[in-house]
Amino acid sequence: MSELKVPTMAECQANGKSPEILFWVGCAGSFDDRAKKITKAIVKILNKCKVDFAVLGTEENCTGDPARRAGNEFTFQMQAMMNIQLLDAYEVKKIVTACPHCYNTLKNEYSDLGGNYEVVHHSQLIQSLINQGKLKLEGESIYKGKKITFHDPCYLGRANDVYEAPREMIIKLDAELTEMNKCRSKGLCCGAGGAQMFKEAESGEKEINVERTEQALETKPHVIATGCPFCNTMMTDGIKNKEKEAEVKVLDIAELIANAAEL
């Protein structure tokens, strides 16, 4: 990220500033090479729109979501309390994140431990920036007329009822939004939320991400859009399994907008 302007909360506090938004990068967005590209796309958009934001940098810890889902409540609460102490010390009020798992945990589960924040998914923030006229997709979009299907992340869709923001952004690209038969509240999980990304597959006819990829390919898309770094990995692996890398791209919604805006 050295070529981009990314202030940290510590730097802002040292200069007597309190950013309007904390960008919670998440473990995937920090360490996974593919997800880092999503992080960069978001930062480019935030900088383009002159959004007053900062990151925690090396102070950011895991939200504890994987520990809680695995049944280790003690580790989750330890991680959560450390994060809440840090967030409150910086007087954080609003958080944006590209990871629906982080989004769900920060938004819905930290409040039980005293951590109360306004949390938005990056698709919601970017949609707002477009609607406010702060982000303009000038000229003819590179995705004009392209077929794009959106895979609903479980923790964004069913868990938090966020369906429209990503789709409205695709429509803003002058692209053709093609829906899978199983979408929105009836969308099929890619498997990452069920830990299939981190373990060997169980016995069965096929892996779940391959099944989901087949459903996406039925729409004959040019692009499979995602709103979660883990979904991105699972769908990318599915495309590789089908040997369709040359025909179908898997891109995060932020990457689509950044590409269209030539950022």
Q: What is the CATH number of the domain that holds 189?
A: 3.40.50
Give the chain's mean pLDDT.
Answer: 94
Nearest C-alpha neighbor of 69 from the set 105, 32, 25, 106: 105
Let me know if residue 117 belongs to a domain: yes
Domain match, 123 and 152 both: no
Residue at a domain's end among 109, 127, 145:
127
Asked if 21 and 112 sit in the same domain, the reply is: yes
Q: What would the pLDDT profile of 190-203 be if each residue is shown by its tens digit?
A: 988 776 677 777 77
Both structure tokens of 20:
């309007």
115 and 198 belong to one structural domain = no
Q: Domain boundary residue among 127, 149, 169? A: 127
Cβ atoms of 135 and 257 within 8 Å: the answer is yes
Q: In the 8-state DSSP scheme, what is residue 108?
A: I
What is the rounded CA–CA span in Å between residue 74 and residue 72?
A: 6
Does residue 181 register a pLDDT over 70?
yes
- Is pLDDT above 70 for 139? no
Instruction: Provide the pLDDT for residue 68.
Output: 93
pLDDT of 157-168, one tens digit each?
Answer: 999 999 999 999
Do residue 118 and residue 150 come from a single domain? Answer: no
**pLDDT for the residue numbered 195:** 67
Angle, helix 33-48 to helix 253-260, in steps of 10 degrees: 50
Q: How far apart are CA 23 and CA 177, in angstroms?
A: 28
CB atoms < 10 A from the CB of 30, how many?
16
Can you give the pTM of this predicted structure?
0.94
Q: List, for residues 30-85, the tens digit of each pLDDT value.
A: 999 999 999 999 999 999 999 999 999 999 999 999 999 989 999 999 999 999 99
Q: Give the phi and the psi of residue 251 in degrees, each rounded to 5.
A: -135, 145
What is the Cα–Cα distance from 129 to 137, expressed in whole angstroms? 11
Q: What is the per-residue pLDDT for 11?
A: 96
Q: How many domains does the chain have?
A: 2
Pairing mode of beta strands 147-150, 53-54: unpaired
| Contacts of range 134-139, beta carbons closer than 8 Å, 24 or more positions apart | 134/49, 134/50, 135/45, 135/48, 135/49, 135/257, 135/261, 136/261, 137/172, 137/173, 137/257, 137/260, 137/261, 138/261
Percent over 90 (pLDDT), the chain? 88
| pLDDT beyond 80 at 240 | yes
Structural domain including 151 reads: 137-260
- The arithmetic mean of pLDDT across residues 251-257, rounded, is 97
Tell me which of 229 and 262 has the higher pLDDT: 229
